[in-house]
Amino acid sequence: MKDFEYQNYIYSRKNEDDRTIINVKGVEIGGDKLTIMAGPCVIDSFEATDKIADKVKNLGASVLRGGAFKPRTSPYSFQGMGTMGLDILSDIGSKHNMPVISEIMSADELDYFVEKIDIIQVGARNMQNFDLLKKLGKTDKPVLLKRGFANTIEEFLLSAEYIMKEGNKNVILCERGIRTYETFTRNTLDISAVPVLKRLTHLPVVVDPSHAAGIHWLVKPLSLAAAAAGADGLIIETHINPRESSCDPEQTLTIESFTSLMNELNPVVKAIGRSI
Amino acid sequence: MKDFEYQNYIYSRKNEDDRTIINVKGVEIGGDKLTIMAGPCVIDSFEATDKIADKVKNLGASVLRGGAFKPRTSPYSFQGMGTMGLDILSDIGSKHNMPVISEIMSADELDYFVEKIDIIQVGARNMQNFDLLKKLGKTDKPVLLKRGFANTIEEFLLSAEYIMKEGNKNVILCERGIRTYETFTRNTLDISAVPVLKRLTHLPVVVDPSHAAGIHWLVKPLSLAAAAAGADGLIIETHINPRESSCDPEQTLTIESFTSLMNELNPVVKAIGRSI
Amino acid sequence: MKDFEYQNYIYSRKNEDDRTIINVKGVEIGGDKLTIMAGPCVIDSFEATDKIADKVKNLGASVLRGGAFKPRTSPYSFQGMGTMGLDILSDIGSKHNMPVISEIMSADELDYFVEKIDIIQVGARNMQNFDLLKKLGKTDKPVLLKRGFANTIEEFLLSAEYIMKEGNKNVILCERGIRTYETFTRNTLDISAVPVLKRLTHLPVVVDPSHAAGIHWLVKPLSLAAAAAGADGLIIETHINPRESSCDPEQTLTIESFTSLMNELNPVVKAIGRSI
Amino acid sequence: MKDFEYQNYIYSRKNEDDRTIINVKGVEIGGDKLTIMAGPCVIDSFEATDKIADKVKNLGASVLRGGAFKPRTSPYSFQGMGTMGLDILSDIGSKHNMPVISEIMSADELDYFVEKIDIIQVGARNMQNFDLLKKLGKTDKPVLLKRGFANTIEEFLLSAEYIMKEGNKNVILCERGIRTYETFTRNTLDISAVPVLKRLTHLPVVVDPSHAAGIHWLVKPLSLAAAAAGADGLIIETHINPRESSCDPEQTLTIESFTSLMNELNPVVKAIGRSI
């Protein structure tokens, strides 16, 4: 598709100043600030999640992430705590005054998510689950839509359109790496998608370096790159003790690494005229 | 994954003679015959579908395919006739004594599919819609599971496992092309997936050359290749007048092309010791 | 590129009957026969190569393959016997009355290849080594040009054009698998490339299932598929004792497997109206 | 490959302080500065190249790039001015006191390159032209080795090893985008390759955002991202009038765009503790 072909969609950016800023309990996404979303891959206990929330908030994160329903390739892998995980996440978000984000896997849980969760995440595997997209479009909850790992930018935007067409304009796009032949990294972060999306749509664009890389020591340089390329936010897996985490320990930052990341991120964000 | 790692799943082939034959209203899939499933991309009228069914059955097809709920990249594309399409397909199947197959997009329609449709298809975009897979696993309907266009063979098998683990052992695997950098064809048919799957699992394996190629003149050579490589069936888009079809006219065979395909397919199928 | 855009090249097929048949010491490539090229990955001794030649010729192979200059990813891997390997191959070809094929890696050896070798192979890594292509174009030796593992069909044809433009019309195209995200197989055999190439060009098209798959038990089904899809030939790694081979033992057929392949290939080839 | 497997190569980084700084006529590559290489895609006249050199030098570029031998997909595309182009580039480099870089396509021109050019570039298509790599390894000229567009990081490093093993340790690695299914951009810049390479090897790593993106308005954000991710340099196509350029006008920056890029790049480079 050429540029001009994108101009008649609800997602289309009409001019350089056209941007959607989504306000979630006082946290603005898509504005001048770079929004940091951090937290564990999966909620496995109140205590660990509570400690993580406390730490990441102090270091600059404004949104708390945590998985309760986990899309696992194998049916024999841990599938998450389910609604109990959502309850914990919601309680900890309230305690620390942080909006919370978690992934939905089935429309069956939509009412529960709407009640408990501030930003509903659609994972890469469900980016073209059009039934789920339409149902999310009938709520007014902010939706963070992850790019499918083999979906084009055009398909990504059209999936956002599925949500917006039903009435819900609060869509946040998330680049999280695509499948390529390279095996060193888990996926290949398509950094170009950030400026391409920022040009084609007014919607906020965030980056998930943790899932793209699959390796903890890549999260920092990829976060700096994403910020420099114009991303509106980052979503970063962080844990008090990654080895204890029930999923993805390889890519999860310790608090020490998260601190180091924030220390290096701040001057880069300032250099491009934004703040955290 | 190495071969031996596959041996403890429900889908795993225990030995060379281990194969699942699924009997759908008298049509066997996974046995000695090559099963031909044919029909329009989308059901758009009783009359056209009825004519197509009549023709393809005479030419050797034993299962009638037709879309009622269509997974379209854009929300502004024709989304199919919905339950009315299922009614038409079901009626025509009964009239011609052909089992029917159609794609499900939401668990909301599951009861209707179970009542009307003989083989429920899960499309490439929903291969990792684990919620839908689990619900299909609780029925006893044959499920044709298409490989996601960026999913590995391992992930494909584990999605089949999601269905089987819930109790439903009637799973048919369908290779339909994967995403690569090549743009001449719509997708790249991964012909190697056929013998790999036949080795790793006892489940039937069919090939969809129409969606893989996206070009009508490739359907014949790819069908011959799939049969020679050991596929248990083919699913082929066919229409009386492809130009009139509401979707995918580029890849749909005319009755003349379908006739020509069947004429060339028969001797190849015989050469490998099977029949149609 | 659309079909019509291909019509003004030297490689372009002008009509359905337009095909180039290359005669190499009495062996026709691109005609009604399916040409079998077989032999070891790499020449490592006269004795082993001689035995292999004897066996594969008896089983139906008409061209003997063998590597002397090996393109190895690491500089520390065995690089082949060089000109001594070409000498051996040439002598054994004469002894068994088989034309021989071997890969060239540098224009420095071109004169030696022209003297000793009947079909000069350009490997996937050199498909866009335009300097080498031009120099080959100034000879009249048959050239087997392998598709680069990340090259499009269009680029493949334009590389053939580089050779033909210099005067050498004896080009054979070889599909050998492309790079994708799938890791079960070494590469993904792009079976669609066979009918696409046969439509766009009059040049012969052969398939290398050994390098595409990287797994010996896939060579047979992929060979059957390639023949059914319209390939004019197959190039198959075969060895008396693959475990002894200095390279690629995983994908090399034993004489027993090669025999089994030929037994199953013959009826399929006959079914499509060709012979071996 | 795991980290530890990389430790026994000449390219391997022995510890965190191990880095190669290549001094080319006083310009250091791989040290604390971010090296900017700029210039036209192809040299087409003395006058245009002279003006470009003057402008980009004033704006912070320290190395002048320009193509004389062009690797074109089609034999009918403009192939560059050849040695005359090298002469022009060399003269302009001397005039402006800038080292020059240009791509070699054949070992036949190696002596001429060694005489005239300060950094010899090996293009993506020749990354595994092992004969050329070995010959470059026998000179002492700095070599900028571009990653093949379907080569893994491991293969990339092993190609550098081919050069270093022959004695030439002056190798600069260049990430320039890889082939994926995404078609919006020409290639997908693998930004992760930058920190991965910086960890595995002591060699300098530069990024070519122009060829990766294929779109001029992506060059700035990708340059910022590359700098933030730790690249040691950037190589950027720039022209006085891109529309006049004989190749790649879509991705070439005007002097105005290059100025804007440098203005935004400077604070980011400072933020990460480097300078230009």
What are A67's strand-pairing partners?
A42
- Integer distance in angstroms from the first to the last C-alpha of chain D? 34
Structure tokens at A238: 């962080």
The complex's ipTM? 0.96
- Integer distance in angstroms from the first to the last C-alpha of chain C? 34
Determine which of D12, D113, D130 to mutate to test the interface with C (most C C-beta atoms within 10 Å).
D130
Provide the strand spans (E) within chain D: 22-24, 27-29, 35-39, 63-65, 100-104, 119-122, 143-146, 171-175, 205-207, 233-237
Structure tokens at B132: 């839908």
C2: CB partners within 8 A, 6+ apart:
none
pTM (2 decimals)? 0.96
Determine which of A129, A153, A182, A183 to mutate to test the interface with B (most B C-beta atoms within 10 Å).
A129
Distance, in Å, from the CA atom of A88 to the CA atom of A95, rounded to the nearest integer, reads 11
Distance, in Å, from the CA atom of D190 to the CA atom of A225, rounded to the nearest integer, reads 11
The closest alpha carbon to C86, from C55, C58, C57, C121, belongs to: C121
Q: B179 vs D183: CB contact, 8 Å cut-off? A: no
Residues of A in contact with C150 (CB under 8 A): 181
Residue B8: helix, strand or coil by DSSP?
coil
Given a cut of 70, whether residue A4 has pLDDT beyond it is no
- Say which amino acid occupies A262: M
| The length of chain A, given as a count of residues | 276
- Segment B81-107 shows an average pLDDT of 97
Distance, in Å, from the CA atom of B153 to the CA atom of B130, rounded to the nearest integer, reads 16
Give the distance from residue A169's alpha carbon to the nearest chain B alpha carbon, in angstroms: 15
* Residue C167 CA, distance from chain mean position: 21
Based on DSSP, count helices (H) and strands (E) in chain A, helices before strands: 9, 10
**Residue A245 binned pLDDT confidence (cut-offs 50, 70, 90):** confident
pLDDT value for A3 = 54
Residue of B nearest to A74 (CA): B158
pLDDT value for D231 = 98
Distance, in Å, from the CA atom of C139 to the CA atom of C167, rounded to the nearest integer, reads 8
If one looks up domain C3-271 in CATH, what number appears? 3.20.20.70
- Say which amino acid occupies B70: K
A71: CB partners within 8 A, 6+ apart:
A103, A105, A123, A125, A126, B128, B130
Residue C255: helix, strand or coil by DSSP?
helix
Rg (CA), chain C: 17
Given a cut of 70, whether residue A6 has pLDDT beyond it is no
Q: What is the pLDDT of residues B113-146, one digit of tens each?
A: 999 999 999 999 999 999 999 999 999 999 999 9
In this complex, how many residue pairs, one in chain C and one in chain D, have their CB atoms less than 8 Å apart?
Answer: 60
Structure tokens at A75: 């049916």
The alpha carbon dihedral of D6, D10, D14, D20 has a sign of negative
Burial label, D26 (beta-carbon count in 10 A; 0-12, 13-18, 19+): exposed
Q: What is the pLDDT of residues A61-106, one digit of tens each?
A: 999 999 999 999 999 999 999 999 999 999 999 999 999 999 999 9
What are B119's strand-pairing partners?
B101
Contact A237, A252 (CB under 8 A): yes
Distance, in Å, from the CA atom of C13 to the CA atom of B17, rounded to the nearest integer, reads 46
> What angle, rounded to 10 degrees, do the helices at C153-165 and C193-200 form?
40
Distance, in Å, from the CA atom of C155 to the CA atom of C162, rounded to the nearest integer, reads 11
Q: D131 vs C158: CB contact, 8 Å cut-off? A: no
Contact D262, D234 (CB under 8 A): no
Rg (CA), chain D: 17
The closest alpha carbon to B101, from B162, B167, B25, belongs to: B25
Q: pLDDT 10s digit of each residue in chain C, 276 long? A: 455 566 789 999 999 999 999 999 999 999 999 999 999 999 999 999 999 999 999 999 999 999 999 999 999 999 999 999 999 999 999 999 999 999 999 999 999 999 999 999 999 999 999 999 999 999 999 999 999 999 999 999 999 999 999 999 999 999 999 999 999 999 999 999 999 999 999 999 999 999 999 999 999 999 999 999 999 999 999 999 888 777 778 999 999 999 999 999 999 999 999 999
Contact B88, B64 (CB under 8 A): no
b/e string for D92-101 if b means 16 or more Cβ within 10 A? bbeebebbbb
Helix H or strand E segment including A219 = helix A216-228
Residue D195, Cβ neighbours under 10 Å: how many? 24
Provide the CB-side half-sphere exposure for C229 (13 A, CA).
Answer: 34
The closest alpha carbon to B104, from B145, B140, B149, belongs to: B145
Least CB-CB distance to A229: which of D192, D212, D225? D225
Residues of C in contact with D165 (CB under 8 A): 75
Give the distance from residue C186's alpha carbon to the nearest chain A alpha carbon, in angstroms: 11
pLDDT value for C1 = 47
The string of DSSP codes covering C2-23 is -GGGGTTSTTB--STT----EE
What percentage of chain B carries pLDDT values higher than 90? 92
Tell whether B241 lies on the interface with C, counting CB pairs under 8 A. no
Tell whether A1 lies on the interface with D, counting CB pairs under 8 A. yes
- Segment A159-174 shows an average pLDDT of 98
| The length of chain B, given as a count of residues | 276
* Superfamily of the domain at A28-68+78-271: Aldolase class I (3.20.20.70)
Given a cut of 50, whether residue B1 has pLDDT beyond it is no
**Residue A5 binned pLDDT confidence (cut-offs 50, 70, 90):** low
List all residues of chain C from 207 to 236 with a beta carbon under 8 Å from chain B: 212-213, 217-218, 221-222, 224-230
pLDDT value for A51 = 97
Rg (CA), chain A: 17
Q: A224 vs D264: CB contact, 8 Å cut-off? A: no
Distance, in Å, from the CA atom of D182 to the CA atom of D189, rounded to the nearest integer, reads 11
Distance, in Å, from the CA atom of C150 to the CA atom of C124, rounded to the nearest integer, reads 9
* H-only helix segments in C130-244: 130-137, 153-165, 193-200, 209-213, 219-229
Determine which of D178, D184, D222 to mutate to test the interface with A (most A C-beta atoms within 10 Å).
D184
Q: In 3-state terms, chain D is what percent helix, strand and coil (to 5)? A: 40, 20, 40
Helix H or strand E segment including A52 = helix A46-58
Contact A236, A36 (CB under 8 A): yes
Residue C86: helix, strand or coil by DSSP?
helix
* Superfamily of the domain at B33-69+79-271: Aldolase class I (3.20.20.70)
Given a cut of 80, whether residue A1 has pLDDT beyond it is no
CATH-assigned architecture of domain D34-68+79-271: Alpha-Beta Barrel (3.20)
Distance, in Å, from the CA atom of A44 to the CA atom of A31, rounded to the nearest integer, reads 33
Q: What is the pLDDT of residues D172-204, one digit of tens each?
A: 999 999 999 999 999 999 999 999 999 999 999
Ranges of residues in chain D with a pLDDT under 70 are 1-6
Q: Tell which wins on pLDDT, B78 or B244.
A: B78
Tell whether D138 lies on the interface with A, counting CB pairs under 8 A. no
Distance, in Å, from the CA atom of D187 to the CA atom of D211, rounded to the nearest integer, reads 8
Cα separation values, C19 from A247, C140, D169, Å: 57, 18, 50
| The length of chain C, given as a count of residues | 276
Give the distance from residue A126's alpha carbon to the nearest chain C alpha carbon, in angstroms: 19
- Say which amino acid occupies A39: G
Contact A64, A73 (CB under 8 A): no
Given a cut of 70, whether residue A113 has pLDDT beyond it is yes
Tell whether D189 lies on the interface with A, counting CB pairs under 8 A. yes
Provide the CB-side half-sphere exposure for A169 (13 A, CA).
Answer: 11
The closest alpha carbon to D15, from D202, D173, D197, D170, belongs to: D202
The alpha carbon dihedral of B217, B220, B222, B225 has a sign of negative
Burial label, B15 (beta-carbon count in 10 A; 0-12, 13-18, 19+): exposed
pLDDT value for C7 = 73
Structure tokens at D59: 């704006």
Contact B30, B19 (CB under 8 A): yes
Structure tokens at D78: 């403009």
Residues of C in contact with D162 (CB under 8 A): 75
Residue of D nearest to B187 (CA): D181
Residues of D in contact with A230 (CB under 8 A): 221
Distance, in Å, from the CA atom of D70 to the CA atom of A228, rounded to the nearest integer, reads 32
Residues of D in contact with B179 (CB under 8 A): 181
* Residue A83 CA, distance from chain mean position: 20
Contact B215, B204 (CB under 8 A): no
Distance, in Å, from the CA atom of C116 to the CA atom of B232, rounded to the nearest integer, reads 46
Structure tokens at D35: 């090296």
Tell whether A184 lies on the interface with C, counting CB pairs under 8 A. no
Distance, in Å, from the CA atom of D45 to the CA atom of B151, rounded to the nearest integer, reads 50
